[in-house]
Amino acid sequence: MQITGSLRSSGQIQVDGIVNGDITAPSITIGQTGTVIGKLIAAEIRVCGTVHGELDGDMVSLSRTARVYARISHAGLSIEAGAVLERPVANDPAAEI
């Protein structure tokens, strides 16, 4: 499945297809077959697939299958061995660099 446009939910969102747009929810999971081109905003973000864009979360987790080409703002960050991360990482979302 492919979606073009922004998604907003008061519950969890799991992406196993392609989303070209921003996603806002309390919890977002990008599955191994999922790809997002856009901004993710959530308290908890787990990436097992591919993200191009921006991640803004309290807790961001990248699994070993994650491919992230995005700027990350976070309060907590977990990266498993094997994950690919290309872009600057700010460990304080309130900081302006």
Q: Is residue 97 part of a domain?
A: no
Full residue range of the structural domain in which residue 25 is found = 2-90
Q: Is residue 96 part of a domain?
A: no
72: left (phi over 0), alpha (psi -120 to 50) or beta: beta
d(CA 75, CA 92) in angstroms, rounded, equals 6
d(CA 37, CA 62) in angstroms, rounded, equals 16
pTM over 0.85: yes
Q: Is residue 47 part of a domain?
A: yes
Q: Is residue 9 part of a domain?
A: yes
Instruction: Identify the pLDDT of residue 87.
Output: 77
Q: Give the Cα-Cα-Cα angle 62, 57, 78 (nearest 5 degrees).
A: 30
Residue 59 reports pLDDT greater than 70: yes
Q: Is residue 33 part of a domain?
A: yes
**Number of structural domains in the chain:** 1
